[in-house]
Amino acid sequence: MRHALALGRRGLGNTWPNPAVGAVVWLPGEGAPHILGRGWTMPGGRPHAETAALAAAGEATRGAMLSVTLEPCSHHGRTPPCSGAIVAAGIARVVSAIEDPDPRVNGRGHIMLRAHGIAVTVGVLAREARRANWGFIRKVVDQRPMLTLKLARTTDGIAGRPGERLLITGPAADARTHMLRAQHDAVMVGLGTVLADDPLLTCRLPGLEHRSPVRIVLDSRLQLPLASRLVASARTHPLWVVTGIAAPDVPEAALVAAGAEIIRVATDPDGRVSPAAAMRALAGRGVTRVLSEAGPRLAMALAAADVVDEVVLLTGTMPAGHGVPALSPVLAERLADPELFTAGPVEPVGPVAAGPNTADTMQVFTRRG
C-alpha cells in the first residue's frame, strides 16, 4: 500500500476532477512481494490507476492481489467501472485503503467485488490515504477544494514592505514553491499580489513545465491590468479571474478577449470576493487542490473563512526590520492551536553552512480531521 500511495502522488495536480490514485498488482513472495503491475491515475483522470495496473500485469492478474489507495469505482462514466475490470481480470483479493465518498460509489465497489467472490480488505494505511486524497474528499464531501497556503517570511516575521519588492528566500525554496505548483490543480493569488509582483505563477522546473496549474486571481472589481504577465499569457496557460457579481462588464469583455475566464461569485459585506463562495465555485468546476500564494491580506481572509487545510511556511535567513507581518493574528492563533493544526518539524531548505540562519527553512502545518 505504501508503494501504491507513492504511485498515486505522481498524479497530484494532474488528474482533476478525479482523485490521484495508485494501484499495485502483486503476489506474496519470500521476504518481499512480487510486483506484477503498477498504475496511477493518468492526466485528466483517465485511465484509472486500477486499469493501468491490470494492463501492466497482463495475464498474470489471475489469482493475484490488488492494493489500491481508494475504493475501485462501480459506476459507468466515460469508461466502464474498475470493479468490473478487476472481476474480469481474475483478481483474488483487493486491499483498499479507504472507501470512495462519491455517492455513485460509497461502498458499492467493494460490495460488487465481494459479490463475485473476491476477498476485500479495507482500511490499510487509511490515514495516509485520506491525506493523499484530501482534495478529492473535500470536493465531494464539503463542496470545496483542499487549500494549501504558502507563505514566506523573514526571520523577524515580515512578508513584505509597501511599495518595495522584498526577496525573502533563495533558489532552493523557490524550487519547492514550483514543485507545489506542479502538485496542485490551481494556484491562487489576490489582486494585490499581482499589482505588487506581476507574477507568472507557472511551474518552471525543468521537465515539469507542462504541469503548470490553472492560475486564479481573486479580483473583486476586475482591476487586473491587461498588461500583466498573467493576462499576457492567458492563451497559453489558463487564467481564471474570480470576481464579484456586480463587477463592471467592460473590463470583463477585455479580459475575455485576452483569453481569461471570468467567474462571478458572491461578495462579503465590504464588497470583496467571498473566499468561501470562491472555493465552492472552483469545486463546481472540478478543482480539488488549490495552492494559494497569498499576500497577508488574502491569507487572513482565507483563515477567517476557515478554508485553509495546510500551511507551508518558508522562512528566509535575514530580518526585514519593518513591514507587513506574514501571519495575521487570526492565522497565527489557529496555527498555534494543537486541536486545529499539527505542526511539522522545521527543516532546512537548500545547503546548510556553519552557524545559525544560514539556510532557508520550511515548516508545514496540517489541519486535523
Closest CA to 82 of 101, 105, 57: 105
C-alpha cell recorded at residue 169: 528566500
DSSP label at residue 72: P
Contact in structure between 299 and 275 (CB atoms under 8 Å): no
Report residue 261: phi and psi, to 5°. Answer: -115, 135
- Tell me the CA distances in angstroms from 179 to 115, 182, 235, 306, 311, one per residue in order: 42, 5, 23, 25, 15
Q: Which of 50, 71, 293, 310 is catalytic?
A: 50
* Catalytic (active site) residue 50: yes
- Tell me the CA distances in angstroms from 170 to 179, 293, 314, 326, 344, one per residue in order: 15, 16, 10, 17, 21
Q: How far apart are CA 302 and CA 349, in angstroms?
A: 26
Contact in structure between 125 and 2 (CB atoms under 8 Å): yes
Give Dmax over CA atoms of the chain in angstroms: 70
User: DSSP secondary structure string, 246-272?
Assistant: T--HHHHHHHHHTT-EEEEE-B-TTSP
C-alpha cell recorded at residue 189: 493569488
Q: How far apart are CA 116 and CA 108, in angstroms?
A: 13
Catalytic residue positions?
50
